[in-house]
Amino acid sequence: MRHEVRLRVGPVTFRVGSAWRGPVRALRRLYEGYPEAGDVADYTVRLEPAKPWRRWLRPSVRIEGDYVLPDAAPLPLAHGLVAAEMAMNLQMALGERRFLLLHAASVEKDGRALIITGESGAGKSTLSAMLGERGWRFMGDEFALLDPDSGMLHPFPRPISLKNEAIAAMEAEVAPERFGPVMENTPKGRIRHMRPRAEALARMSEQARPAMVLFPRFGFAREVRPVGPAEAFMRLTQASTNYVAMAARGFDALTGLVQTCPGVAIDYPDAATAFELIETLWAEAGR
Partner 1 sequence: MGQAMTGPLYIADTADARSLMLEGLTLLFHPASGMTHILAPPSPEILAALAEPGNAEAVLARLSTQFDFAPGEGAEALEARLAELESSGLVRRA
Partner 2 sequence: MSAALLVRALRDPESLPLDCDWTSLISAARAEALIGTLAHRLQDLPLPERVAGLFAMHRADAERTRVQALWDAEMARRALAPLGVPVVLLKGTAFLAAGLEAGQGRSIGDLDILVPKDALTEVEQALIGAGWERLKPADGYDDFYYREWMHELPPLIHRERDRMIDVHHTILPPTARPKPDAAALLADSLVLPNGLRMLSPEDVIVHAAAHLIADGDMAGGLRNLWDIDRLLREFAQAEGLWGRLAERAVHHGLDKAVRRSVRLAHRLYGTPVPKDWRGTGDGLFVRRLLSRDGWGRRTRKATGFGFYVRGHLMRMPPLMLARHLLKKARA
Q: Can residue 64 be called a binding residue for partner 1 (CB under 8 A)?
A: no
> Smallest Cα–Cα separation from 124: which of 229, 26, 266, 245?
266
> What is the rounded distance in angstroms from the CA atom of residue 105 to the CA atom of residue 194?
15
- Stretches 51-59, 144-152, 202-210, 252-260: which one binds partner 1 (CB under 8 A)? 252-260
Q: Can residue 252 be called a binding residue for partner 1 (CB under 8 A)?
A: yes
Element at 280 (helix H, strand E): helix 271-286
Which one of partner 2, partner 1, none is in contact with 108 (Cβ closer than 5 to 8 A by kind)? none
Site for partner 2 in 69-88 (CB under 8 A): none
Q: Look at the chain and count its residues.
A: 287
> What is the rounded distance in angstroms from the CA atom of residue 52 to the CA atom of residue 47?
12
Q: Can residue 36 be called a binding residue for partner 2 (CB under 8 A)?
A: no
Fill in the amino acid letter for 209.
R
Catalogue the E-assigned strands of the chain. 3-9, 12-18, 43-49, 60-65, 75-76, 100-109, 112-117, 137-140, 143-146, 153-154, 160-163, 179-186, 189-194, 209-218, 223-227, 263-268
Contact letters (x/-) for partner 2, 87-126, by CB under 8 A?
Answer: --------xxxx----------------------------
* Residue whose CB is less far from partner 1, 234 or 272: 234
Which one of partner 1, partner 2, none is in contact with 98 (Cβ closer than 5 to 8 A by kind)? partner 2
Q: Can residue 245 be called a binding residue for partner 2 (CB under 8 A)?
A: yes
CA angle at residue 133 from 130 to 135, to 5 degrees? 110
Q: Can residue 202 be called a binding residue for partner 1 (CB under 8 A)?
A: no
Do 183 and 83 touch, CB atoms closer than 8 A? no
Which one of partner 2, partner 1, none is in contact with 273 (Cβ closer than 5 to 8 A by kind)? none
Residues at the contact surface with partner 2, assessed by CB under 8 A: 1, 13, 15, 17, 38-42, 44, 46, 64-67, 95-98, 245, 247, 249
Residues at the contact surface with partner 1, assessed by CB under 8 A: 228-231, 233-234, 237, 243-244, 247-248, 251-252, 255, 258-259
